[in-house]
């Protein structure tokens, strides 16, 4: 799995950080930052959940 984000579209909702804090973080303005572009297998399910729950669907996953 490879993860990418488009921070320019982030609305700082924070669901990604609450669900997968090992993969996503927020900067001082609340904008998403990616901690792991290739998360380990045990995180794949939760990363898929973040992609579907992000209100602006900016989390892209390549399997
Ligand atoms: S869930 Fe989406 S909009 Fe919210 S902080 Fe994460 S990437 Fe940004």
The pLDDT tens digits for 23-35 are: 999 999 999 999 9
Residue 18 pLDDT class (50, 70, 90 cuts): very high
Global pTM?
0.95
Whole-number pLDDT of residue 45: 98
Return the HEC string of 21-63.
CCCEEECCCCCEEECCCCCCHHHHHHHHHHHHHCCCCCCEEEC
Task: Check pocket membership of 18 for ligand 1, CB cut-off 6 A.
Answer: no
Q: What average pLDDT does this structure show over 39-47?
A: 98
Task: Check pocket membership of 16 for ligand 1, CB cut-off 6 A.
Answer: yes
How many A from CA of 12 to the centre of ligand 1? 5
Residue 60 pairs in a beta bridge with 4
Average pLDDT, the chain: 97
Whole-number pLDDT of residue 11: 97
Q: What average pLDDT does this structure show over 52-59?
A: 97
Q: How far apart are the first and last CA of the chain?
A: 4
């Amino acid at each position: 799995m490879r993860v990418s984000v488009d921070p320019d579209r982030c609305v700082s909702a924070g669901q990604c950080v609450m669900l997968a804090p090992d993969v996503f973080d927020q900067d001082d303005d609340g904008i998403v930052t990616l901690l792991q572009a290739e998360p380990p297998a045990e995180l794949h399910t939760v990363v898929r959940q973040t992609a579907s729950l992000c209100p602006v669907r900016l989390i892209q996953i390549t399997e």
